[in-house]
Amino acid sequence: MKFVLSLIIILFITFMNTFSAQVVAQVKFGAAISTMQVNQQNTKQQVRVKSSNQAAQMAQSFYGGKVLKVQAQKSGYRVKLIKKDGHIISVFVDAKSGRISGR
């Protein structure tokens, strides 16, 4: 009888430890998800690009490399970059939203 009672107690303690670890993991994971959702909402805020220098800086910080040329266009800026590996890329920075697209 003592053996069965001891076994039940051990199983109960093991279950509680496992359950509490899962709850802690879920709470931490939930907090991480909430933080990611807030960050995604913050990145969706629009950034107006007011100059070619600002467009160049944004493209360079996103892709790296060195800015070769910036051309103002109707709705934004075309930025040409040379990457460290020698590849030349051309990206478009939208003046209204700050969205960077292309390669």
Q: Write out 14-80 in H/E/C secondary structure.
A: HHHHHHHHHHHHHHHHHHHHHHHHHHHHHHCCCCCCCCHHHHHHHHHHHHCCEEEEEEEECCEEEEE
Instruction: Specify whether domain 52-101 bears CATH 3.10.450.
Output: yes
Domain coordinates of the chain in residue numbers?
A: 1-45, 52-101
Residue scoring higher pLDDT (2 or 29)? 2
Tens digits of per-residue pLDDT, 26-64? Answer: 545 555 554 445 444 445 557 899 999 999 999 999 999
Query: What is the torsion angle, in degrees rounded to the nearest 10, for the CA atoms of residue 20, residue 23, residue 25 and residue 28?
Result: -130
| pTM, two decimal places | 0.56
The better pLDDT of the pair 34, 70 is held by 70
